[in-house]
Amino acid sequence: MRLILLGPPGAGKGTQAAFITEKFGIPQISTGDMLRAAVKAQTPLGIEAKKVMDAGGLVSDDLIIGLVRDRLQQPDCQKGYLFDGFPRTIPQADALKAAEIPLDFVVELVVPEESIIERMSGRRIHPASGRSYHVKFNPPKVADTDDVTGEPLVQRDDDREETVRHRLSVYREQTRPLVDYYQTWAATNDPAAPAYRQIEGLGTVEE
Ligand code: AP5
Ligand code: ZN
């Protein structure tokens, strides 16, 4: 299974990725998680990315494409992969297409903007794994504690309301055009075109 999870910030991509990757035994390639790991490790990439991420902007296409290219070389990608938060711009999608990286599905999680601010303000994450919880909608078994490791949960630096609003406008301008990009491609006879599916993201996590 090879797929892209598409959707605005806070749509639940990371949350659903945990179920899908377990079901199919495939790795989650989350460029956001990879960048947060680089920030934490203070690598040159992390130092460069941090300012952009905290402001809610996008890291440069060249950096991201290099990061994903390296990740796909690893042996766990043989069985398939789930892209979460990538591609996020037309040039990123074009790079994936030009490299002939096979794709079966593009799955769009549809969530209206009004719901997103509430989701982000209650989000707590386990930094080492990227697991994400919500104080009200998806609480951990013990408050502020990761279910699997027992380690503390933290708030993401980019989940402040004004940053979230900026991330939403960046999504509208730079990422939402990918909906049309992949729908149009899916409607052609190209055998390489992934099928396109829209999923209502407003139900409970299990739904
Ligand atoms: P990234 O980490 O990819 O952030 P994002 O796309 O903005 O998405 P989020 O992780 O915020 O949301 P999500 O859809 O995963 O939602 P979640 O499951 O956590 O990117 C961060 C930054 O890195 C970017 O801003 C950019 O700077 C940079 N970056 C990353 N990739 C890049 C790229 N390709 N190019 C350039 N720059 C890049 O859920 C959200 C909350 O809602 C949680 O609290 C969750 O518990 C809750 N929730 C989930 N599902 C439900 C539900 N059904 N009902 C109620 N609550 C729910
Ligand atoms: Zn995420």
CA separation, residue 40 to residues 49, 56, 89, 151, 157 (Å)? 11, 17, 25, 16, 12
Active site residue 167: yes
CA separation, residue 93 to residues 85, 106, 120, 204 (Å)? 12, 12, 26, 30
Q: Two tokens at 191?
A: 């055998």
**Per-residue pLDDT for the chain (207 aa), expressed as one digit of tens each?**
999 999 999 999 999 999 999 999 999 999 999 999 999 999 999 999 999 999 999 999 999 999 999 999 999 999 999 999 999 999 999 999 999 999 999 999 999 988 999 999 999 999 999 999 999 999 999 999 999 999 999 999 999 889 999 999 999 999 999 999 999 999 999 999 999 999 999 999 999
Q: Is 2 labelled a binding residue?
A: no
For 175-197, what is each residue's pLDDT tens digit? 999 999 999 999 999 999 999 99
Q: Is 123 labelled a binding residue?
A: yes
d(CA 94, CA 98): 6
Cβ–ligand 1 distance for 32 under 6 Å, the answer yes
Residue 163, helix vs strand vs coil: helix
Q: Which atom of ligand 1 lies at the shortest distance from residue 205's CA?
A: 53
Domains of the chain: 2-112+175-200 (3.40.50.300)
The ipTM (two decimal places) reads 0.97
Ligand nearest to the CA of 158: 1
Ligand 2 centroid, distance to 188 Cα (angstroms)? 30
Q: Which residue in the list 50, 124, 131, 167 is annotated as catalytic? A: 167
pTM: 0.96
